[in-house]
Structure 1
Amino acid sequence: MKSGDVLEILYVPTTNGMMRISIYGFQSSGTSGYVQASLNDITVTEKGINRKKTVVKCVTSLHEMIMNSPE
């Protein structure tokens, strides 16, 4: 992470624990960034240009990984 980059952290309570969503970048229109979502020991990272779509895509990927896990 370079100095001057924007970092936001969201905590979302779920029935399985606390989901942490870290959002890096997305400073101005058209700049890329990436989102990292983690729940317990599962972590997913997505990169994109649109902040909202990237967050939704990352949370969706995390949900799919949880649903497809053998536990």
Structure 2
Amino acid sequence: MVADQLNIKGIVKNQSDGSVYIEAQGDPQAVHSFAKKIIASPAPSGRVSNYNIADNKIKNYTSFNVVY
């Protein structure tokens, strides 16, 4: 998993409108690389048509998990 390779911690969740919500924390360069890899992800694993990146309060995640 890309998050594990880059030592990214956080969550990913599919939203009811078909979008995906991600909270990612780690080294700033690693988070930037993580975002670039997600944006470049080829179909069928996903197509990014719009994204928003925001700085938020750190939640001290210990791993990267899928939230249902």
Give TM-score, length-normalised by structure 1: 0.31
Please say which structure displays the higher CA radius of gyration: 1
Higher RCO, 1 vs 2 (CA within 8 Å, ≥6 residues apart): 2
Give TM-score, length-normalised by structure 2: 0.32
